[in-house]
Structure 1
């Protein structure tokens, strides 16, 4: 496929998104600590077909299962060559959850989703609130449930994060987002 980024380009753009949006706008108050400690693993899949991505996902789930959280607490599996269509990506999330179950990791690891065209049900495509889950490339975020539990316990108002994110993005607006990410 023409126009695909190199792995280094995909990682650099994803890191910039993490730093400017996720951490910079405080969309996830838990991201800063693991980022500062270098515990975020960035993996770029060369997959061009969903089954290839599934193989990469299983490898990354196994890696996260087998490595200490102090080394890798979370993984971003970036896949610019497959599931560019948001509906296809959304359908694949069921397959991703089945992979977690098949590997016996239900309750240990969960998969969160980020996509350039992410759209919450009931919103329009240009609704700024969708940008809480918009990333430069389709991305599966593999999270340790223990780490989520610890982070939530340390952040007493965790249930307010979603509402705070909506307010932050409403205030920022589409134009503000475009200023943060002029490259698209």
Structure 2
């Protein structure tokens, strides 16, 4: 099992090289530069524990001003390793938002090492736009998303640009970024 330090280092490298480096999310750089991104590494190992830590992180994010903490990445290195199980869990995650009356205040984006969009092959490089070294739930403030997308009125352009970037990079180029999980030595 990876240590928390290793998980944090892998997550930071992924943010720097892929998310910000490839500009997959044009809003990430500013949030990271301002120190408004909170990375929570969880030791949760089952769905109930993930739900509990998700609930805690949602409440913690809502308790703070956006200038202090705009967004949270909940990293789950020990839970939901199977993408289909992870994908199924997203309904439960949305139910937590609903239970906490946070629908309309927060939304959840998902990232997974084996992320696969419907209708794509597992090895399609465009899946990499949502691939991360570990399963992750990204808690985003709706207000912040609205402000950020006002600078990009056609959000489809971001998606299309990302697909073109990844297709230009290719599977080998993505692998060369070294943004996967680091294997610890025994």
What is the TM-score with the length of structure 1 in the denominator?
Answer: 0.96
> Which residue does 2:144 correspond to in 1?
147
> Which residue does 1:31 correspond to in 2?
28
> Which residue does 1:53 correspond to in 2?
50
> Which residue does 2:184 correspond to in 1?
none
Shift of 1:156: 3.5
**CA–CA separation in structure 1 for the residues paired with 2:180 and 2:169:** 17
- For 2:110, which of 110, 113, 124 is the aligned residue? 113
- For 1:85, which of 79, 82, 85 is the aligned residue? 82
> Which residue does 1:70 correspond to in 2?
67
- For 1:9, which of 6, 10, 18 is the aligned residue? 6
Shift of 1:25: 0.3
Whether the 8 Å contact between 2:36 and 2:69 is mirrored in structure 1 is yes
**CA–CA separation in structure 2 for the residues paired with 1:6 and 1:124:** 32
Change (3 A) 1:182 1:70: closer
Shift of 1:8: 1.6
Shift of 1:155: 2.6
CA deviations over 1:101-122 (Å, ceiling 9, x no partner): 0000000001100000000000
Shift of 1:9: 1.1
Shift of 1:6: 1.2
Gaps of 5+ in 1: none
- Higher RCO, 1 vs 2 (CA within 8 Å, ≥6 residues apart): 2
- For 1:94, which of 88, 91, 94 is the aligned residue? 91
Whether the 8 Å contact between 2:14 and 2:180 is mirrored in structure 1 is no
> Which residue does 2:159 correspond to in 1?
162
Count of paired positions: 181
RMSD between superposed Cα atoms in Å = 1.1
2:120 aligned counterpart, secondary structure: coil
Shift of 1:182: 7.0
Change (3 A) 1:147 1:182: closer
**CA–CA separation in structure 1 for the residues paired with 2:163 and 2:58:** 30
> Which residue does 1:129 correspond to in 2?
126
The answer to whether the aligner puts 1:19 opposite 2:13 as a matched pair is no
**CA–CA separation in structure 2 for the residues paired with 1:27 and 1:49:** 30
